[in-house]
Amino acid sequence: MTRAISLHDVSKTYTKGVRVVDRLSLDIAPGEFLVLLGPSGCGKSTVLRMIAGLEEITEGQLLLDGEYGNDLPPSGRDMAMVFQNFALYPNMTSRDNIGFPLRIESPGADPRHRVNATARMLGIEDLLERFPSQLSGGERQRVAMGRAIARHPSAFLMDEPLSNLDAKLRNHLRAEIAKLTRELGVTTVYVTHDQAEAMSLGDRVAVLRGGVLQQVGTPRAVYALPRNVFVAAFIGTPRINLLRGLVRAPLDGAMTISLGKQFLRLPEPLSLDHQLLRVQQGREVIVGLRSEAVRISPRFSASREQGGLASPSWARPGEVEITGLVEHMEFQGHEVLVHFDTGSRPAVVPDLEAARPSRRPVRRRRREGTVLERLREKAGTLRAGPVVVMDHPADTGPDPDTALSPDGRLPGDLVVRTTPDIRLRYGMQVPLLVDLAHLFVFDQHGERICPAPDHLPDLEE
């Protein structure tokens, strides 16, 4: 039997008023594999422990199959938990570790049949008589998973079960977990900070930041339409390029987004998403470009073959050309990640740059504008917490178009995927083509404004 799990405005507050989970609402369907994803300290393990009954819920409701479950003890929830550190009894063999919860639940029953069946499922029959000290990390994790599977629970709760393993073994066990949970059809809640695990395992992914749910959806939807800068930056390898820009939308000319020394000219006629950017006229925005949205122009190879002679831009419809200086190259075997300096100013996501973001509220001076504009600003700040994207440390000048780094050079950070056969060297100037169909634009609070969100924010949220 599997079960539905629902969290309604659930919060967790520790002593001294430290709030680690804030009004989280989430519905998990029976048999669904849901991944809780976020950086260290975001509250994802606390959510898992509240579902298991190991942590008391401060506010809100936990519903199990539609019934109130806040006060149920862990033993009454019919859930099995797999921990990060295996949590095996060192004085018991693998057989005894797997069968221990069965003996507790039914003292008079013989657990050998279920233990053997579970061992066959996991391929650990030859390890049943060994102690944990005689097992490798991957074998211990299989035994820990066997202890959870043998109980036939209504839900699996997995708290970063693969984080202590090496990369090769982690990839192998990831595939095994996906196969097992699919065959068993049991509701699974999986906690991880590894976005590769989340994208490959989950039916849906719930992204947390600072105890607040940022977005929940299928891996494809979360990657293709991130709700805000944090989600966009946290999901995707390499990390999305985030550049500070300025929207210029003259009535008698083409709309552009200035990136410092260069600009992106939006193609005409404007798409619906690009038309909505007119309201950002004169405002600073954050431009997001994934590495696959930018490519090295074939003009680069053609001009080298022709000895530097001029050649066409080779741009496809919807692409615009910019240039970049090669700063660094990462050889990955099947591809090369090239870091370019485009004269742009990168935006920084504090939660991903610091080990643990500060929870102290930032005091901000009163902004000019109408009451409605200030309310909208406040609403955006509440949804995202403190400012999601902060100024680059080098940006000390009053003019955003002339801020320089200490060495007198405009900082830039644009990572582009390319094939390993292309010949580049440090300092080389290269023409780049940006596909504006894959352009993300975020406002100053980090909320996505292009592509347009599904619905406008509600000021009462």
pLDDT tens digits, residue range 71-97? 999 989 999 999 888 889 999 999 999
339 with 414: CB under 8 angstroms? yes
Gap between the Cα atoms of 235 and 241, Å rounded: 12
- Say which residue the tokens 């509600």 belong to: 458
**Six-digit token pair at 207?**
């992204």
For residue 376, tell me if it sits in a domain: yes
d(CA 450, CA 422) in angstroms, rounded, equals 32
206-218: average pLDDT: 95
pLDDT of 308 > 60? The answer is no
- What's residue 202's pLDDT? 93
Is residue 365 included in any domain, yes or no?
yes
What spatial distance separates the first Cα and last Cα of the chain, rounded to whole Å?
Answer: 36
Q: Average pLDDT, whole number, for the chain?
A: 83
Question: Which residues face 21 on adjacent strands?
Answer: 12
Q: Which of 229, 245, 280 is at the close of a domain?
A: 229
Q: Which distant-in-sequence residues (6+ apart) come within 8 Å of 171 by Cβ?
A: none
What is the number of structural domains in the chain?
2
- Which of 86-116 are b and which e, b meaning 16 or more Cβ less than 10 Å from the residue's Cβ? bebeeeebbbbbbbbbbeeeeeeeebeebbb
- Both 211 and 234 in one domain: the answer is no
Contact 236, 195 (CB under 8 A): yes
pLDDT tens-digit map of 141-200: 889 989 999 988 999 999 998 887 777 788 888 888 888 888 889 999 999 999 989 999
Within-domain flag for 154: yes
Q: What pLDDT band is residue 311 in, cutting at 50, 70 and 90?
A: low
**The pLDDT of residue 350:** 78
Distance of alpha carbon 418 from alpha carbon 421, whole angstroms: 9
401 and 347 within one domain:
yes
Residue 317 lies in a domain: yes
Q: Which residue has the tokens 């000021």?
A: 459
pLDDT of residue 38: 93
| Domain-terminating residue out of 184, 202, 229 | 229
- Cα–Cα distance for residue pair 201/34, rounded to 1 Å: 8
The Cα–Cα gap between 295 and 319 comes to 10
Residue 248 CB: number of other CB atoms within 10 A? 16
Instruction: Note whether 215 and 99 are same-domain residues.
Output: yes
pLDDT in tens, 229-285: 999 999 998 899 999 999 998 888 888 999 988 999 998 888 888 888 888 888 899
Whether residue 264 lies inside any domain: the answer is yes
pLDDT band at 306; cut points 50, 70, 90: low
* DSSP tag of 251: T
Tell me: do 389 and 356 sit in the same domain: yes
CA dist., res. 326 & res. 341, Å (int): 7
Helices (H), strands (E): how many in the chain? 12, 22
My answer on whether 162 and 297 are in the same domain is no
Indicate whether 306 and 350 sit together in one domain.
yes
Which DSSP string do the residues of 429-451 spell out, in sequence order?
A: EEEEEEEGGG-EEE-TTSBEEES
| Residues 375, 363: Cα–Cα separation, whole Å | 16
- pLDDT (tens digit, 9 = 90+) per residue, 102-151? 998 888 888 899 999 999 888 899 999 999 999 988 889 889 989 999 98
Q: What is the bridge-based pairing of β-strands 241-248 and 284-289?
A: antiparallel
CA dihedral 160, 164, 167, 173 (to 10 degrees): -60
Q: What are phi and psi of 214, to 5 degrees?
A: -90, -45
Domain annotation covers residue 82: yes
Contact partners, residue 407, CB within 8 Å, separation at least 6: none
Q: What is the pLDDT of residue 386?
A: 42
**Which of 229, 257, 289 is the last residue before a domain boundary?**
229
Q: Are residues 199 and 123 in the same domain?
A: yes
Please state, in angstroms and rounded to a whole number, the distance separating the CA atoms of residues 113 and 365.
Answer: 68
Is the same domain home to 256 and 223? no
**pLDDT tens, position by position, 376-404:** 444 444 444 444 444 444 343 434 443 44
CA distance 285 to 221: 23
**402: which residues sit within 8 A by CB, 6+ positions away?**
none
Mark whether 128 and 65 lie in a shared domain. Answer: yes
What count of other Cβ atoms lies within 10 Å of the Cβ of residue 346?
Answer: 18
Q: Over the stretch 403-453, which tens digit does the pLDDT of each residue have?
A: 444 433 334 579 999 998 888 889 899 999 999 999 999 998 899 999 987
Q: Which residue has the higher pLDDT, 413 or 317?
A: 317
User: Model pTM?
Assistant: 0.82
Residues 338 and 157: their CA atoms lie apart, in Å, by 40
Residue 84 · residue 49 · CB < 8 Å: no
Q: CB neighbours (10 Å) of residue 410?
A: 18
456 in any annotated domain:
no
Give Rg (Cα) of the chain. Answer: 26
Q: Which 3 state secondary structure label does DSSP give 67?
A: strand
Domain span at 147: 5-229
**Would residue 457 count as lying in a domain?**
no
**Domain with 185 in it: what CATH number?**
3.40.50.300
- Give yes or no for residue 361 having a pLDDT over 50: no
Same domain, 309 and 364: yes
Read off the pLDDT of each residue in 285-294 and give the average, rounded to a whole number: 93
Instruction: Give the pLDDT band of residue 10 (cuts 50, 70, 90).
Output: very high
How high is the pLDDT of residue 1? Answer: 60
Q: Examine the domain organization and report whether 331 and 401 are in the same domain.
A: yes
Count of residues making up the chain: 461
154: Cα separation from own chain's centroid? 27
Residue given tokens 């504009």 in the structure block: 373
Same domain (yes/no): 195, 287? no
Cis bond upstream, residue 73 (ω within 30):
no
